[in-house]
Structure 1
Amino acid sequence: RLLFPESKLSTFEGKGRFAREFPCELEQMYRSLSFLAGQKNHLEEHLNKQISKKLNRNLAVAFYDVTTYYFESVLADDLKKFGFSKDNKVNQVQVVMGLLIDDQGIPVGYDLFPGNTNDFRTLEPVLLRMKEQYGIKKIILVADRGLNSKGNLLFLKSLGFEYIMSFKIRSGSKKVKEMVLDESGYTYISPEFKWKKCEFQSFVRTKEKTHVLDDHLLITWSSKRAQKDRKDRERIIEKSKKLVESKSQLKAELKKGGKKYVQLTFLEDDHISFNEKQAEIDEQFDGYYAIQYSDPALSPEKVLEAYHGLWKIEESFRVLKSNFEARPIFVWTEESIKGHFVICYLALVIQRLLEYLLHTKGIDYSTEKIQDAIRSATITKVHLDGKEIFIKNKSDDVFSDILKAFGLEDIPAYGVKDKRT
């Protein structure tokens, strides 16, 4: 999968690309998917034990996020369902994946969910399994605002875990908004960036009682984010004004994010108008961003450093989808789908581990360069006088760097296999 990410049929048809032959029928390859699905947790546990031994792995900080994978299909079942697609494939069924990685970007584990599962409902089952399976006692979980629900935060606290989560200011309380706009307490790192730390209390109601979460908000402002927010808002305003001008475009455009500043008054013959007041309110918060975190011992610098590490998991999803072509998915039964993701996950672990080990040697190459380098390590077979002669082809310079980094010998210039013996 790492070298030649293709359909199972194409993988079978291309097995002759490898120097060593292996006997395998297409039917056996498809059957192996169900076997791998059943071994998923055992494989995951084995990998984590080996990685922990070799790397002295630190799970003090871990990153979690959710993505979706679509099928070239509209047939729904218990796993494949219609839902919010992160690939904008609104007319195709999908599955949802929750992925946990360590602070080096190496995966710890994942779970699959039906395609209509909300992001925030994936966190509890994934972390509960991780805690029970690996005995993790303390972890600081870093996640985006799609997972920031009061129920999730209370659950993390109940496990003894801490969290660093993005907080949506514009949907916050009046008190939070006043706190953001209040200039007192800000530390100016430069004219382009400032921050302040505020105490933040929230309440979670369960059947038993009301729980209090005593957290902190790290509020930041940057000129770069202000410019981006302004451009994003201007784009939405433009869409909203088009809706106001043309009712016929209303339904189609609402799906594209243009409804934010459209005001619909049913009591006035479905009167549609542009919500100028809301646009002015939003403008006040251009450039501001907030991070909610639970551990008071963390400095603002540590919080920002940890939160900015979220790119590692976003990059992992990109690698799975692009480099390993995990989607679209062309197998249909639930067990085959699960087996497909086991293969993709194993490829991701190998790739991330290789990148990390190269990094420790002072070598940093992209996923694409590493894939191309390993693919370039080829030989040519020549049959002569009953002998099979192997001749090494010229490989990528990056492949030579990889071999040197690990102290491995290069492929011999040639070799002979005598079929008569």
Structure 2
Amino acid sequence: MYLRRNRRRRGKWDYDYWTLVESVRTERGSRQRIVATLGKVPGLNKEERVGWEEVAGVLNGRPKPEADLFEKEDDIPQWANVDTRRVRVERLREFGSVYLGIILWKRLKLDDIFERLQREGREEIHWADMFVVLTLARFCKPSSELAIAESWYEKTALEDLLGITVDKVNDDRLYRGLDEILPHKDEVCKHLQERYTEWFGSKFDFLFYDVTSTYFEGECELNAQAKYGYSRDKRFDCKQVCIGLVVNLEGLPVGYEVFDGNRKDVTTLEEMVELMEKKYGQAQRVWVFDRGIVSEENLDYLREKGSRYIVGTLRDELKQFEKELSEKNWDEVECGVEVKIVGHPEHGEEKFVLCRSHGRAEKERAMLKRQLDKLTDEFEKIKKGINEGRLKNKDITKIDRRIGRWQGRYTKAAAMIDVELIKDGERLVDLKIQRRTEKLEWAEKANGCYLLRTDLTEEDPKKLWQVYMQLNQAEKAFRMEKSDLWMRPIFHQKTDRVQAHIFICFLALAMYKSLELWMASKGLGNSPAKLLEEFKEICSMDVVLPVKDHNPIRLCVVAKPDNHVQILLHRLDIKIPNRPKVVRNVVETLAV
């Protein structure tokens, strides 16, 4: 579900409101359905005065204390003669996104854990503050450490919120911050798991595991893990590392490990399970992963550990259940998707869940037809050339290679077509092209079907299918890291710096997913990118008031958000400073 902004005009006035929209599958394809309308809510226009000195309490979730009966009001207006023709605005800064980022940082109590873990030394700026800057930059606007120091930091309100002046944030300090944060990885991952439970009531009975890769720019000679391997990014020309990520049922990132770039997915499971048990205890968990990690050795290992599993299987195993595919006793789990449980005499108490998706079947059927048509056309061209005499005198091995190239391009179709060069002695006569009927019939029957395997005692195939489909939470997390958080490509060359870069991306992902669940709990859908985009409209600025017979007065203020943004702030119960702060000089800051 995601938020859609709407505007309606009535008379002379424009009204902004939000609708919560979700995509649903129907027989006619994907359609959008309005779940709820988020309009004006009670209390939206009620103004609560929040000063900059109260920001720390707001960020930590502490309510504003009530004023004492005899307490002096500090909100006394200062009177001065101001030349309105010379009033100007300076230092326009991005406020909303970084303010939201700090709220998430404090809600996850990452400030507390880093303050406890990081020892103070002779550094001028505490390293825990640098960790905030690095993670917020990755969360709000992913960029390099050099870009953070040279442009991004000074364009945000972090100087006012963190109390760190612009001149103290430089690329050298940020790079050293990467070196300092890496040793805390295991403790922070453990802390996040505890915080998920406190904030969202999350459980970790089901763990979803998947592996991806991310590539490097450069030779990476100083990184022993950077190697050539199977690239999910289609960058086979670049070295890479593989990342194994574990998330829970809600998609919250629990832990991760970095593997060599040429490591096969199937070989990473045992190491990841050992690491998770070592860090978080040997609870009896249910592991969910796809067919790329499945092997009999891995399943035997999980059974010996006392762990349960729901896994995808290789497509070839569908052949064992050809009879069941033709039967009609299917249960519909959602529109266009059917499932049923089948047993197998050779696998004891294990269950297999046959799944069939009509939408997926149409897609696979169209893809195969396209490949068959393309490959047949190319073979017909070769056949025509032989029959017309243009290819009769050519070397037969060259024609074989030409046929092989097209078979390599259309691999699925190549398995469905038999081709044979007909020769009369040493001379080519014809090319025989014949489609394999049995293969085509099986492909038609298996289109849209896949097979799950589990040792759980659950008998309802719908529940088993729904649990397995949550594996897309891990895939979604990878997409967030690579696209929204720009984890790829990696420009760092040293092993520790690469590990620290991935750790920063992991922390930003934890904030991203926490924001998603927070939004869902408030009825705002599950699209954090849209919310961040709207919050970026909130800016802070310095208003300079030229005063008669006195130095100009400089006020730091936060612009009042538009109505549609106020609705979002009200839903999330976020208060922003709405009282100006007098700035004695440009470099004065407010420490939170």
Is the pair's TM-score, using the shorter chain for normalization, greater than 0.5? yes
Alignment of 1:211-360 (within 5 A): 214-238=349-373, 240-241=375-376, 245=382, 247-248=401-402, 250-251=404-405, 254=408, 257=411, 260-261=415-416, 276-277=436-437, 278-360=439-521
Q: For 2:207 and 2:538, how far apart are their aligned partners in 1?
A: 35
For structure 1, the residue ranges without an aligned partner over 5 or more in a row are 203-211
Is contact 1:369-1:398 (8 Å) kept? Answer: no
Counterpart of 1:389 in 2: which secondary structure? strand
Q: Does 1:410 align with 2:563?
A: no
Q: Would you say 1:12 and 2:149 are equivalent positions?
A: yes
Counterpart Cα distance in 2 of 1:249 and 1:71: 36
In structure 2, what is the Cα distance between the partners aligned to 1:354 and 1:306? 23
How many residue pairs are counted as aligned between the two chains? Answer: 410
Contact 1:4/1:11 (8 A) holds in 2: no
Shift of 1:310: 2.1
Q: Deviation per CA, 1:204-256: give whole Å up to 9, x if none.
A: xxxxxxxx663111112233232122112223334544675563374487267
Q: In angstroms, what is the RMSD of aligned CA positions? A: 3.2
1:374 maps to 2:535: yes
Deviation at 1:329, TM superposition (A): 1.0
Q: Which has the higher contact order (CA 8 A, sep 6+)?
A: 2
Aligned counterparts, 1:176-191, within 5 A: 176-183=320-327, 186-187=330-331
Shift, 1:99, TM fit: 0.9
The separation in 1 between residues aligned to 2:487 and 2:154, in whole angstroms, is 22
> Which residue is 2:523 aligned to?
362
Whether the 8 Å CA contact 1:61–1:140 is kept in 2: the answer is yes
Give the deviation of 1:55 after TM superposition.
Answer: 2.5
CA distance in 2, matches of 1:252, 1:68: 29
How far residue 350 of structure 1 moved from its aligned partner, in angstroms, is 0.6
Instruction: Report the CA distance between 1:378 and its aligned residue.
Output: 1.9
What secondary structure, in the 3-state scheme, does the structure 2 residue paired with 1:165 have?
strand
| CA drift at 1:201 | 5.8
Asked if 1:129 is matched to 2:275, the reply is yes
**Equivalent residues in 2 for 1:37-48, closer than 5 Å:** 37-48=182-193
Highest Rg: 1 or 2? 2
Provide the rounded CA distance (Å) in 2 between the counterparts of 1:252 and 1:7.
Answer: 43
Question: What amino acid sits opposite 2:187 in the alignment?
Answer: H
Distance in 2 between residues matched to 1:279 and 1:161, nearest whole Å: 39
Equivalence for 1:197: 341
Aligned counterpart, 1:209 = none
Conservation of the 8 A alpha-carbon contact between 1:74 and 1:91: no
Q: Is 1:69 equivalent to 2:214 in the alignment? A: yes
TM-superposition CA deviations, 1:122-179 (whole Å, max 9, x none)? 222122211121114122222221122112212222222211111233x1275x2334
Contact 1:60–1:139 (CA under 8 A) maintained in structure 2? yes
401-410 vs 215-224, which deviates more? 401-410
Is contact 2:378–2:406 with CA below 8 Å preserved after alignment? no
Q: TM-score, normalised by structure 1?
A: 0.86
TM-score by length of 2: 0.63
Counterpart residue identity of residue 47, structure 1: L
- Contact 2:487/2:502, CA 8 A, preserved across alignment: yes
SS of the residue corresponding to residue 446 of structure 2 reads coil
For 1:284 and 1:138, locate their aligned partners in 2 and report how far apart those are by CA, in whole Å.
Answer: 38
Match of 2:288 among 105, 130, 142: 142
CA deviation string 1:318-365 (max 9, x = no partner): 111111111011111111111101111100101111110221122214
Percent identical among aligned pairs is: 25
**Structure 1 residue 298: deviation in Å?**
4.5
**Counterpart secondary structure, 1:78:** coil
In the alignment, is the contact (CA less than 8 A) between 2:277 and 2:283 conserved in 1?
yes
Could you tell me how far 1:306 is from its partner in structure 2?
A: 0.8
| Mapped partners of 2:410, 2:491: distance in 1 | 28
Correspondence 1:154 to 2:300: yes
Aligned partner of 1:84: which letter?
Y
Deviation (angstroms), 1:72: 2.2
CA distance in 1, matches of 2:335, 2:194: 47
**Matched-pair contact (CA < 8 Å) for 1:95–1:115:** yes
Counterpart-to-counterpart distance in 2, 1:49 and 1:129:
17
Q: Distance in 1 between matches of 2:435 and 2:218?
A: 39
Give how far 1:196 is off: 2.3
Where 2:524 maps in the other structure, the secondary structure is coil
Counterpart CA distance in 2 for 1:190 and 1:339 is 42
C-alpha separation in 2, matches of 1:122 and 1:190: 33
Distance in 1 of aligned mates of 2:377 and 2:185: 50
Does the 8 Å contact 1:240/1:274 carry over to 2? no
224-233 or 335-344, which moves further after superposition?
Answer: 224-233
How far apart, CA to CA, are the structure 2 residues paired with 1:262 and 1:27?
Answer: 61
* Aligned counterpart in structure 2 of residue 29 of structure 1, from 167, 170, 174: 174
Q: Which runs of 5+ in 2 are unaligned?
A: 1-137, 383-398, 546-550
Aligned to 2:5: none
Aligned AA (1:318): R
Summarize the Cα distance change of 1:173–1:303 in structure 2 as closer, same or farther, 3 Å threshold.
closer
Q: CA deviation at 1:287?
A: 2.8
The CA deviation string for residues 279-321 of structure 1, in whole angstroms up to 9 with x for no partner, is 3432231232211111022521111111222222221111111
Offset at 1:257?
A: 4.4
Question: 1:90-130 CA deviation, whole Å, 9 max, x = no partner?
Answer: 11111111111111111111111111111122222122211
Q: 1:342 to 1:414 in 2, by over 3 A?
A: same
Pairing partner for 1:2 from 132, 139, 152: 139
